[in-house]
Amino acid sequence: MKLEKFELDGLKVDLTHLDDVLEDVGFVRAAQWDYERVTYDRKFEHKGDVFYLRLQGYAVEGDVGAHRAIIQLMTPLLGKHYYPHGVEYGEGENFPSTIVEACEKLLKRAEEALKEFAL
């Protein structure tokens, strides 16, 4: 599910600020990066199901591995995890309203904090 009502899609932020802000909001990047892309996740569990709020971006300048990059963010996604296949984001998925509301609150906090560092 795309969460499009936020102004994160297209926002450009220095990787260092992006890491700091999203970690403060509760996202984890961990090893989910390569030299051109980053992925931040926030895990939710609800009645035995696992959901991930995912915020992805790609380097428009610099190198993620060197910790010197300008990242352009993409539209946030909410997906449901199916073991062992992975995360599905399809329109046919059923997302509990409590999870969607929690995601929207987190994204609003992230959006407000990241605007200060937008390039």
The string of DSSP letters for 5-40 reads: SSTTTT-EEEHHHHHHHHHHHT-B-TT-B-SSEEEE
Any domain includes 7: no
pLDDT in tens, the chain (119 residues): 999 999 999 999 999 999 999 999 999 998 778 889 999 999 999 999 999 999 999 999 999 989 899 999 999 999 999 888 888 888 788 899 999 999 999 999 999 999 999 99
Question: pTM of the prediction?
Answer: 0.91
Any domain includes 2: no
| Of the candidates 48, 10, 50, 52, the residue with the CA atom closest to the CA atom of residue 32 | 52
Any domain includes 4: no
Give the model's pLDDT for residue 31: 79
Domain containing 20: what range? 12-115
* Number of domains, the chain: 1
| Of the candidates 108, 97, 83, the residue with the CA atom closest to the CA atom of residue 1 | 97
Any domain includes 79: yes
Give the model's pLDDT for residue 61: 97
CATH of the domain at 28: 3.30.310.100
For residue 69, the tally of other CB atoms under 10 A from its CB is 25
On whether the CB atoms of residues 63 and 69 are closer than 8 A, the answer is yes
